[in-house]
Structure 1
Amino acid sequence: MSDNLILYTNPQSRGCIVRWMLEELGVPYRTEVLEYGEAMKAADYLSLNPMGKVPTLVHGDRIITECAAICVYLAEVFADSDLAPKSDDERARYYRWMFFAAGPMESAIVNKNIFGEDAGKDKQEMLGYGTYQLALDALSSVIKSSAYIVGDRFTAADVYIGAQLGWGLQFGTIEKREEFQEYVSRLSQREAFQRAHALDQALLKEVDEA
């Protein structure tokens, strides 16, 4: 464990994405588990994350929130991990699809599953994703085009996008397209993913028994 790198999380949150990223890096870190409710809204935690949500990563004197931002930050700071893009071609795909998934894709999934239908045609131009199907088709295009987001090499973009797709497939918020299932299955075989999953499952059991 390390007090220089602290992950504030809950095993039933997007903190699982950051856990996976940290396990891919193989660096020491400490985990602080927060329960939903008062713990996340306490003044000391709000000083770290004014949204009162997890995850939050504290790295020395630096505070980083938002999963995509945390993944990008860690990949760049721990450059020896080779999880950041190396060329301009990789960089273009990496940032394009990382932030597509964090912005339009997540909005499309949330809106579709909360409201049950797309906005009317007169409103679709106002949305960053247009329609749920259009967003899924766009993501399908990159998943089909190569083994990983930037090409033939695993990066932090695969951690973020793979985790989002994995949750979506598990909970039925994303269509079970063959390319999505194959991609998630391949990523779930990674040792770091399995370590992260085991750690969060153990935390979940502790929370349930508390």
Structure 2
Amino acid sequence: MTDGSAYDAGLAALAAREWQRAAMLLEEAAADEPSAAVLEALGTAYFWTDHVATIEIRERAYREYRAARDPYGTARVAIALAWDHVNFRSEGSVARGWLQLAGRALEGRQVAAEHGHLALWEADFALSAADLATAQAKPAEALEIGCLLDDSDIELMAPPSRDWCGSCGATCGMAWGFSRRPLWPRSPARSPTRPTRATRAVT
């Protein structure tokens, strides 16, 4: 049984942006039971502290989610790993592979926040590859999902848009642009937002 006190305290530390404390607490929880959720949260803490084991921990979380047949957890961690491979290793081709795995995990599944975050990342990569048609279509798709789910996080991460949103019947695009944010379990706290960075070229 996972040490709920260490895990819950670790999530609270993440929400408070106390990255080092979160890592310490989640390491304790993972030592007791390295479940997918615990490893995912630990991967987030490691990401924010530039820990050398970030990718290793997230890959373990990915495998655990796949073994548990959790498509949303699988996709969420795959998206985070795509960013890791760009951020830590400048491996654009590997990052694209992780996005493809995220897309496969979500195929045929009920629309959830993970679909919106994936669409935003696909737009980002398309822009880097000068695929302007996809770079325009994917943010609109993400915005539709954000409106459908009433998820302001996704709406705020979409690029500036004046396009009409068919799901909520309003112009709901906000001029905030992309925001890099690794995903982690959304309950009991929402994921903290990573400061926006300029889009980097992906090769």
TM normalised by structure 2 equals: 0.32
| Higher CA-based Rg | 1
TM-score w.r.t. structure 1 length?
Answer: 0.32
